[in-house]
């Protein structure tokens, strides 16, 4: 069988440093119960409308790091030079619930990968890998059942040169719509190649910092964002 493709452009990987978590909260705006937007001041032309973004957020004086998955919904090319990302509600829930983080011996790499997940006692479905390590993954499963039996999974790398990753795992935690999956045993060659590719991609990630001239918390959502409420939410 030939190499499958996700049909999606690879997500832009970005490291963004705020001063404090409070400053990050000033950049988050709610349109309704389903939609949250992150305002970024003049992040650069690579943030094109429609681009998918994986944002690793850190802080000058705080040890915690957050990962936000989003899509550029609108760019203001005027005097404010602003970009608005719609961020996944699941990521914001994950950020508010430290209990969903587990003590791990290996750092997980933020990702945005398509995966076919085949539970032993429930219908198969297509989800997203939100972060990945050698022995575990955090997945966006939506409302799909994973059950407590074995999971057969296929990961689809965004790079066509990489092979599919076929692996097995089992559910270790669930905070809908996310779940944590353990993958015991040694990772095979295709899994290790995928992890190495993610590591290299993060080494080349765009690095940005909160600008001092940013007008945090001033103003609200632009009318252009209120007009796209009928489009499918991120993830």
What's the pLDDT score for residue 91?
A: 63
Q: What is the pLDDT of residues 4-20, one digit of tens each?
A: 544 456 789 999 999 99
pLDDT at 3: 47
User: What is the CATH topology of the domain spanning 12-100+205-226?
Assistant: Thrombin, subunit H (2.40.10)
Please identify which residue in the block is written with the tokens 């575990």: 136
The runs of H, that is alpha helices, within the chain are 21-26, 89-96, 189-203, 223-226
Nearest to residue 43, comparing CAs of 57, 31, 61?
57
Three-state secondary structure call for residue 44? coil
The domain 109-201 having CATH identifier 2.40.10.220: the answer here is yes
Helix (H, G, I), strand (E, B) or coil at 200: helix
Give the residue extent of every domain in the chain: 12-100+205-226, 109-201
Beta carbons of 53 and 47 less than 8 angstroms apart: yes
Q: Which long-range contacts (CB under 8 A, 24 or more apart) does 138-142 make?
A: 138/108, 138/178, 138/179, 138/180, 138/181, 139/115, 139/178, 139/179, 139/180, 139/181, 140/88, 140/90, 140/177, 140/178, 140/235, 141/117, 141/174, 141/176, 141/177, 141/178, 141/179, 142/177
Residue keyed to tokens 């990521």: 91
Residue 46: CB atoms within 10 A of its CB come to 11
Q: Which residues of the chain have pLDDT under 50?
A: 1-3, 5-7, 96-104
pTM (2 d.p.): 0.81
Distance between CA atoms of residues 17 and 139, nearest Å: 25
Asked if 57 and 24 count as a contact pair (C-beta separation under 8 A), the reply is yes
Please state, in angstroms and rounded to a whole number, the distance separating the CA atoms of residues 161 and 164: 10
């Amino acid at each position: 069988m030939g190499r499958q493709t996700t049909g999606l452009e690879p997500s832009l990987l970005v490291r963004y440093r705020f001063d404090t978590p409070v400053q990050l909260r000033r950049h988050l705006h709610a349109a309704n119960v389903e939609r949250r937007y992150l305002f970024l001041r003049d992040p650069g032309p690579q943030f094109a409308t429609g681009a998918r973004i994986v944002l690793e957020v850190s802080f000058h004086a705080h040890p915690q790091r957050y990962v936000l998955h989003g899509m550029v919904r609108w760019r203001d090319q005027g005097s404010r030079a602003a970009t608005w990302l719609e961020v996944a509600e699941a990521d914001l829930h994950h950020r508010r619930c430290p209990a969903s983080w587990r003590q791990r011996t290996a750092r997980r790499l933020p990702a945005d990968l398509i995966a076919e997940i085949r539970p032993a006692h429930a219908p198969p479905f297509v989800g997203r890998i939100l972060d990945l390590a050698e022995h575990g993954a955090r997945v966006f499963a939506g409302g799909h059942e994973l059950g407590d039996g074995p999971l057969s999974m296929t990961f689809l790398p965004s790079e066509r040169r990489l092979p599919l990753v076929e692996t097995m795992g089992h559910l270790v935690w669930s905070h809908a719509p996310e779940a944590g999956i353990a993958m015991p045993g040694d990772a095979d060659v295709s899994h290790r190649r995928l992890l190495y590719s993610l590591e290299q991609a993060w080494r080349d990630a765009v690095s940005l910092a909160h600008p001092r001239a940013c007008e945090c918390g001033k103003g609200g959502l632009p009318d252009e964002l209120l007009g796209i409420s009928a489009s499918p939410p991120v993830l």
